[in-house]
Amino acid sequence: MRPRALPCVLPMSQAPATPLSYKAAGVDIDAGDALVERIKPLAKKTLRDGVLAGIGGFGALFEVPRRYREPVLVSGTDGVGTKLRLAFEWAVHDTVGIDLVAMSVNDVLVQGAEPLFFLDYFACGKLDVDTAAAVVGGIAKGCELAGCALIGGETAEMPGMYPPGEYDLAGFCVGAVEKSSILTGQSVRAGDVVLGLASSGVHSNGFSLVRKCIERAAGRLPATLDGRPFRQAVMEPTRIYVKSVLAALRQHPIKALAHITGGGLLENIPRVLPDALAAHLVKGSWPQSELFAWLQRTAGINDAEMNRTFNHGIGMVAVIAPEAADAAAATLRAGGETVYRIGAIAERGAGQAVMVA
């Protein structure tokens, strides 16, 4: 047994000159309350069927919509990565929340699932309400674009853990799909078509190299790329493909989807293919943007490294039978996507799982 601690009584001469408080220790409860009040109307805009109780309670409640007969829950979590370094340096806080949502909802989507709700985690050393509200405003916007509810989250103010002006983000999404409609990729066959959905830019992967390129080109950065100011082109948020792809899934027999994140085209497409098959992509079947051309030129890397580091202009890939490819592409375009036929599926043999030639 552990002995009981003896009471400690300080002599008056050793008593602290001023009392300590949580706020004096670096945690401002009032600022946290103010942030919650700023967040509530943003979260309200994302409400959808199924939300029973959202922000404000100890836990958020969500009822799976009754239209699902055999619902399977699909979950995903991610962050924004070192793109946040540029957000701090350039004071761009209103779009990284979209990145946060996109990285999780797009991952959930590739199982064929509809994102239902999202939770965020915002951690900082000292809470700046305006900055945090801008970030959460982006999260709410991302949830609107994805059709999911911002149902809860956590704001952690931790003095000494983060430098002034910096924060970290994590996001968590739960979606649902009919058990019979889960996309596994097992029905993919040689001869199927690979459709590529254009990315909005770098998205949220490869930013350690992006930042090195910016350092290398310091003092001679281009004023614009792809018709946008340089910083805007670099920080363009990750595209959210949910609504357009779900519409296509309802109408066309898409066999597999791949979200092109870390590892690029070369490592993400094989994740949804049977082991015996490979994707043969046609170089030049989609355009290289000025942004990616600048990155490749500045870094001095070859095409293979570009396709392994970045999405290189393709943020989502769909695999579908050739007779259904044109109709699916038309539906995706009607939903706002830019779609390219970028290759086909073939027997793998002794080659790589993805070849670009």
* Cβ contact 268:107 at 8 Å: no
What six digits make up the tokens of 96? 């990284």
- Cα angle for residues 217, 222, 223 (degrees, 5° grid): 140
Q: Quick check: do 29-60+68-181 and 193-356 share a fold?
A: no
Please report the pLDDT score of residue 15 as a whole number: 55
Q: How many residues does the chain have?
A: 357
Q: Which residues contact 290 (CB under 8 A, 6 or more apart)?
A: 222, 225, 226, 233
- Return averaged pLDDT per consecutive 10 residues of the chain, 357 residues in all: 41 60 67 78 85 78 93 96 97 97 98 97 93 95 96 91 94 97 95 98 96 94 96 98 98 97 94 93 96 97 95 98 98 98 91 79
Contact call for residues 74 and 113 (beta carbons, < 8 A): yes
Instruction: Calculate the alpha carbon distances from 250 to 66, 137, 325 in Å.
Output: 18, 30, 14
- pTM, two decimals, is 0.90
Burial of residue 115 (CB within 10 Å: 0-12, 13-18, 19+) is buried
B/e letters for 218-254, b = 16+ CB within 10 Å, e = fewer, are eeeeeeebeeeebebbbbbbbbbbbbbbbebbeebeb
For 155-238, where are the alpha helices, taking DSSP H only? 207-216, 230-235
Whole-number pLDDT of residue 44: 83
Q: Cβ–Cβ contacts within 10 Å for residue 90, how many? A: 12
Name the residue with tokens 């996507």.
Answer: 337
Q: Which 3 state secondary structure label does DSSP give 196?
A: strand
State the pLDDT at residue 186: 93
pLDDT for 7 equals: 39
> What are the extents of the domains in the chain?
29-60+68-181, 193-356
Give CATH for domain 193-356.
3.90.650.10
For residue 211, give the 3-state DSSP assignment. Answer: helix
Give the list of residues 6+ apart from residue 229 with CB closer than 8 angstroms, or none. 223
Tokens of 77: 């979590």
Fold topology of 29-60+68-181: 60s Ribosomal Protein L30; Chain: A; (3.30.1330)
Tell me what pLDDT residue 197 has.
98
